[in-house]
Structure 1
């Protein structure tokens, strides 16, 4: 993706039948999943095993789930691109993207993303997701914080990926709550009254608060959210559909596995990272 690219791709371009490949995948995933977990007309009724799987989630397939992903300048695309791939494929789920001013947003590395809604125009959401970023200046501004606090206080589920948990914690909604964060920033959570947990996925308050670790952890996070809310069958179906079958070529994705010299390289560009106290623009 080039620096000025928008959130479009060849997958989005209509084919001769009027649908893009992404449209077809989405329609197929929702229709098939509905038939599997809902026991619709295609199957007549769900088998006992599948009916049990459908009931494993906190929500029934008929319950709507409205998700707002709150983006901002300097945010990291993969923090929310991964989760959105999963959330868009869940039954009866609507995903919206919003920012402080609406319109296009320039993310990390100059990626131009949009078009987003204005946060102030969204009355409420069932779930709010705050992704992380390399520059949290706007995300920590009083105006942005006020909108995040408002939506979080009315949401059933309050979630974050990477150092997006710092943004949530700064609003005060994570006070006394356990939360994940990117390993380089995780211990800064305590400065805002949250409880830092160096895990890839963390939940508190019976699942009302759910968070993922750094960047790529957003996919694991979203699958866990999907399983918790829509049931394991829905999560497994979506995981298979997007071929999430990770096989990293190097075991260097976390300080517990990385070689000391590689950790030292990260500490040079992010001082304090190995202590979980790295600083990012916008965070005092």
Structure 2
């Protein structure tokens, strides 16, 4: 186990904060963890429901990462067309030991060319759209495929974080953390995608339709850029031969 673990979580306006603050609570307690809350600038950002958050590390100052973690939220869609963000994620992900996501953060990874041919979890409302990028959607709370680890929607990020902790530091460390944090979920209602009444699922899908269509359009646009080899190049990669198909150098 490394003496220092460099763990980076992408912050952005309109993020669903629990996607990454849940994992932060777990991963920040790992031995030797150094946490980097990543954004373009050190300035307050606002989550999708109004929580103010402060990044700690700019893209420019980000060290090589052991773990890159990307969450989702409605702000994700704007990032798909942001070359600075996509270029950073592509570079950081290509060099990280583990490339990870929670909820719709998987689309940011996919838009950076990091999920083609990989299995991934996602929020159940958007999971099917992963196929746009050649990723393999899996209806599980946690999915591990080689060095890609993904969590489903929002609260799945906590379960996901214990899996990442076990990968980094072993089961004993992860179990100790789970006990210390008293993670023993017992939700008041037994309702999931698998057992919810069809009419409730249909109602939620109907209400989410405008957002889902916007996400689909942003994903299709990003996937077309990847097919055309138009992934943005991070400055540190400018003179390095590409190991990712379709990335211009």
What TM bracket, shorter-length normalisation?
Answer: 0.7 to 0.9
Match 2:106 to one of 159, 162, 165: 165
Q: Kindly state the Cα deviation for residue 101 of structure 1 after the two structures are TM-superposed.
A: 2.8
| Partner residue in 2 for 1:13 | none
Partner of 1:147: 88
Would you say how many aligned residue pairs link Structure 1 and Structure 2? 218
> Counterparts of 2:176 and 2:10 in 1: how far apart (Å)?
26
Which structure: larger Rg? 1
Matched residues in 1 for 2:167 and 2:32: separation?
Answer: 15
Residue among 135, 155, 158 paired with 1:194: 135
Query: Which residues in structure 2 correspond to 1:204-243 (within 5 Å)?
Result: 204-205=145-146, 208-243=147-182
The superposition leaves residues 14-70 of structure 1 with CA deviations (integer Å, 9 ceiling, x where unpaired) of xxxxxxxxxxxxxxxxxxxxxxxxxxxxxxxxxxxxxxxxxxxxxx2x532110001
Gapped regions of structure 1 (runs ≥ 5): 1-59
Partner of 1:203: 144
The answer to which of 118-127 and 74-83 deviates more is 118-127
Provide runs of 4+ in structure 1 moved above 4 Å: 281-284
> In the alignment, is residue 86 of structure 1 matched against residue 26 of structure 2?
yes
1:165-217, Cα deviation, whole Å (9 max, x unpaired): 01100111111111111111111111012111111111112xx1111010000
1:72–1:138 contact (8 Å) kept in structure 2 = no
| Alignment correspondent of 2:6 | 66
Q: Note if 1:182 corresponds to 2:123.
A: yes
Q: How does 1:16-165 map to 2 (within 5 A)?
A: 60=1, 62-140=2-80, 141-165=82-106
What's the C-alpha RMSD, in Å, of the aligned pairs? Answer: 1.9
SS at match of 1:68: strand
Tell me the distance in 2 between the aligned counterparts of 1:185 and 1:272: 12
